[in-house]
Chain A
Amino acid sequence: MDQGPLEANTPAPDFALHRTPDQRVSLHEFRGNPVILAFYPADWSPVCGDQMVLYNEILPEFRRHDAALLGISVDGAWCHLAFARDRKLGFPLLADFEPKGEVARTYGVYRKGDGVTERALFVIDDGGIIRWSYVSPIGVNPGAEGILKALESLSARARS
């Protein structure tokens, strides 16, 4: 049996994934800042498009919390480049492409039969600990209110 999605208070497993064909991004580079991981099934499919486009519009709110947003799917780096350019996305899309879905498996959000990741969100604090996670029904764009609530509680914790 596969594990379920990693839950709050679990250390976020590190990874290094391609954001472009010749550039990798590692989770640990963001230590010191909150990170939002948005796993989504595929570039180009309508719901995902809406979700990533929505997050792109909300980037200023995420940045108020100094949070970095990383989109992750099993699509390759060239596909991500074309998709990001088409939708004018201002945040990295990472390719969980080889070995396929390895990072998604580590986070417990790989859909084996479908060969894609769940539509899953993780908010990681500045120390690399997952503080909130959520798996949406695959066809439902989860919006951003859960992410913002999680970021606010991180900020509140940092102040207290």
Chain B
Amino acid sequence: MTMHRRASTAELVVPVRASDHVLGPATAPVTLVEYGDFECPHCGMAHAVLEELLAAAGDQLRFVFRNFPLTTVHPHAENAAEAAEAAGAQGRFWEMHDLLFENQTALEDDDLVAYAAALGLNQARFIRELASHTYATKVREDFTGGVRSGVNGTPTFFVNGYRHDDSFDLPTLAKAIARAAE
């Protein structure tokens, strides 16, 4: 729930780095960082908002997605996050990211493998990396960095490094981004 959030001073302590998944140019005046969970319905709603936002923003916006799986309430979130990372290792992070958010109620391991197949990934490698939790450390690093930055639920957004403590509906988020671009 974001309705009652107020302005905060929470700041992103982990700067955008090479291991991040990034859309948009590094020269964009505004960087939007999301901490999200593929099984979180609010993140699913935010995903639709972000697609519109990114389409409209052109080269004015850089978007970064980091993992923040709340694994006790979302039992599929950890494996989904690791699946996105495994797809990322094969150069298809964003395609998997979109598929996961578009299929939030179908995140069983079989589903994840089916998405990998649909994306034409090396399936043997994908399955092996998922089974051995190759990317669990990366996911946990995202999570811990988020905690240290004041992530207090999912999704949490940072606009140019400051936590966005307001609604993530399209007009509100667009306004926050426009303000940051000034």
Q: A interface vs B, CB < 8 Å?
A: 46-47, 50-51, 53-54, 56-58, 61, 87-90, 137, 139-145, 148
Contacts and interface: CB of A to CB of B under 8 A. Distances in A.
Interface residues of B, number: 20
B153 A50 contact: yes
B72 A140 contact: no
Contact of B153 (A54, A58, A61, A89): A54
A155 to B, nearest CB: 15
A139 B147 contact: no
Q: Main SS of chain B's interface residues? A: loop
22 contacts: A46-B1, A51-B152, A53-B72, A53-B73, A56-B72, A57-B71, A57-B143, A58-B147, A61-B144, A61-B147, A87-B72, A88-B73, A90-B72, A137-B6, A139-B6, A140-B8, A143-B10, A143-B152, A144-B152, A145-B10, A145-B147, A145-B150
B31 to A, nearest CB: 20
Interface of B: 1, 4-6, 8, 10, 70-73, 143-144, 147-153, 165
A50 B152 contact: yes
**Most chain A beta-carbon contacts within 10 A, residue among B6, B144, B152:** B152
- Please list the 8 inter-chain residue pairs (A to B) with the smallest Cβ-Cβ separation, ordered nearest first: A139-B4, A143-B152, A141-B152, A50-B153, A46-B1, A88-B72, A143-B150, A145-B150
A89 B165 CA distance: 26
A153 B92 CA distance: 41
Nearest to B165: A140
A46 B3 CA distance: 11
Nearest to A89: B72
B55 to A, nearest CB: 29
